[in-house]
């Protein structure tokens, strides 16, 4: 297909990894849970691609252990995932994959809970005053 710009390459990598997670992942650390790929950043020289993943955690699960488990599974399958991506898209050089947890959704929930307590406190102060 020729050369990809980094933005297009990022999207193609994201699509390919998402497809792998849904259809081909055999590792129970990956196949037993819902994992979304929230973004992929490819360096300008296309040597590295940072893949941001966001696993869905149940309320009773320890978030840190789930994150660790998912990253271990992804890093173990990294070679296979790179091979699968290289088969899906045609590039001269397949970037090295770096998996990171995207905790922005968790951070957003944390901010929402802080705002909620501030709103409740403000309404209590209104009632008292």
pLDDT at 13: 94
6-103: CATH class: alpha beta
Q: Phi-psi region for residue 2, left (φ > 0), alpha (ψ -120 to 50) or beta?
A: left
Q: Where are the domains of the chain?
A: 6-103
Tokens at residue 78, please? 């990294």
- Work out the burial of residue 17: count CB atoms within 10 Å of its CB; fewer than 13 is exposed, 13-18 middle, 19 or more buried: buried
d(CA 121, CA 20): 47
> Which residue stretches of the chain have pLDDT < 50?
1-3
**CB-facing half-sphere around the CA of 43: CA atoms within 13 A:** 12
Contact 48, 95 (CB under 8 A): yes
């Amino acid at each position: 297909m020729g050369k990809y710009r980094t933005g297009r390459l990022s999207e193609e990598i994201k699509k390919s990894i998402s497809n792998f997670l849904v259809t081909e992942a055999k590792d129970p650390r990956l196949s037993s849970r819902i994992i979304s790929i929230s973004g992929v950043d490819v360096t300008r020289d296309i040597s590295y691609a940072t893949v941001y993943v966001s696993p869905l955690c149940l309320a009773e699960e320890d978030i840190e252990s789930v994150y660790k488990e998912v990253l271990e599974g992804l890093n173990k399958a990294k070679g296979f995932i790179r091979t699968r991506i290289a088969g899906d898209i045609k590039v001269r050089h397949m970037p090295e994959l770096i998996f990171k947890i995207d905790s922005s959704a968790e951070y957003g929930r944390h901010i929402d809970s802080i705002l909620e307590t501030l709103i409740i406190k403000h309404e209590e102060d209104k009632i008292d005053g």
